[in-house]
Amino acid sequence: MSTVEAKTLFRFWPRISSAFAALALVPVPVEAQDGEGVRETRVTVGPRLVPGFPGAEGMSLRPYVDVSRRRGDEPFPFRPPDESPSVVVYRRGDITFGPVIGFVGKRHHDDAGGLDAVLSTIEAGAFVRYSLGPHVHLSAEARQGINGHKALTGMIRADYVARDGDRWLWSIGPRLTLASGRYAERYFGVTPREAAATGVPAWRADGGLLAAGAVVGARRQLSRRWGLFGYAKYDRLFGTAADSPVVDLFGSRDQWSGGVGVSYVFGRHRQ
């Protein structure tokens, strides 16, 4: 993470953390279940590698943070391993809903042959998850850039999950990334002015389906408190984004990411 990106995160982080802390204190509507007096929170932290910005060939280091809560004797609910940092504010039956926050690194002038820079972006939005039984989970999220690209992006997910309670879990599933026309233009378009100044061919990028790919994730509980987590993700750019001279000259159609983490379970446990 660059110094500029770090400053951006620090500048916005007090507001973000305060909002998420307040949301985390809101009681989550859940259906009553056996052992409802047992409450535990699992916190997972670690490093992850992601493209420096959409379409980039190079990778950037980011933190991975996940907080999951359970009540009763049920295992911790499944969360897609590549979902943006989120807080559950509603859970009833097979539906879960809440806010998400995202961060996209800055694209410097030098990263794209002198094309306009795109500032680091804090994104805010919401997610929804729906479970089709214990093994198939669907989810979607949408995020709006509140600075930087100031555009809309989102993702649709499906995951097949196999697990033995909280002892081990693995998941695999496809991904579709969507983006508005403004988002596509900021990262993959080249205006006539930029073309004249840099020699990069002018290009118009359209919104819609931006990329498709897949994710595999795994968890392993080492003891009642400690556990390990990891995931790997591949995306392939599509359409006018994939054919953009920005990607052809300075980036890659293949977008890789992944991360590892250590988890710790806080709270009461019924013997």
Six-digit token string for 36: 């409802």
Residue 217 lies in a domain: yes
CB 184 within 8 A of CB 206: yes
Q: Decide if 215 is inside a domain.
A: yes
pLDDT (mean) for 72-79: 90
Q: What global pTM score does this model have?
A: 0.83
Tell me the CATH number at 233: 2.40.160.40
- Predicted pLDDT of residue 21: 44
Write out pLDDT tens, residues 148-178.
999 999 999 999 999 999 999 999 999 999 9
Give residue-wise pLDDT tens across range 219-253.
999 999 999 999 999 999 999 999 999 999 999 99
In a domain, 205, yes or no: yes
Domain count, the chain: 1
Domain range enclosing 261 = 3-28+41-267
In a domain, 254, yes or no: yes
Give the tens place of pLDDT for each residue, 100-151.
999 999 999 999 999 999 999 999 999 999 999 999 999 999 999 999 999 9
What strands, in cross-sheet order, belong to the sheet with 121-131?
59-71, 39-51, 254-267, 226-237, 208-221, 168-179, 152-164, 136-145, 121-131, 95-104, 90-92
Residue 73 to residue 37: CA distance in whole angstroms:
9
Does 33 map to a domain? no
pLDDT attached to residue 216: 98
Query: Per-residue confidence at 267, pLDDT binned at 50, 70, 90?
Result: confident
> How many other C-beta atoms lie within 10 A of the C-beta of residue 63?
14
Domain assignment of residue 34, yes or no:
no
Place 39 in a pLDDT band, splitting at 50, 70 and 90: confident
Q: Quote the mean pLDDT of the chain.
A: 88
Q: Residue 226: how many CB atoms within 10 A of its CB?
A: 12
Burial 228-247 (b: 16+ CB within 10 A, else e): bbbbbbbbebbbbbbebbbb
pLDDT of residue 8: 46
Query: Could you tell me if residue 36 is inside a domain?
Result: no
What is the DSSP track for 59-108? Answer: EEEEEEEEEEEEESSSPPPP--TTPPSB---EEETTEEEEEEEEEE--B-
For residue 35, tell me if it sits in a domain.
no
Per the model's pLDDT, the better-predicted residue between 168 and 37 turns out to be: 168
C-alpha closest to that of 156 among 173, 172, 169? 173
Best CA proximity match to 63, nearest among 268, 266, 261, 267: 261
Nearest to 246 by CA among 209, 208, 198, 211: 198
- Amino acid occupying residue 243: D
Q: What are phi and psi of 6, to 5 degrees?
A: -60, -45
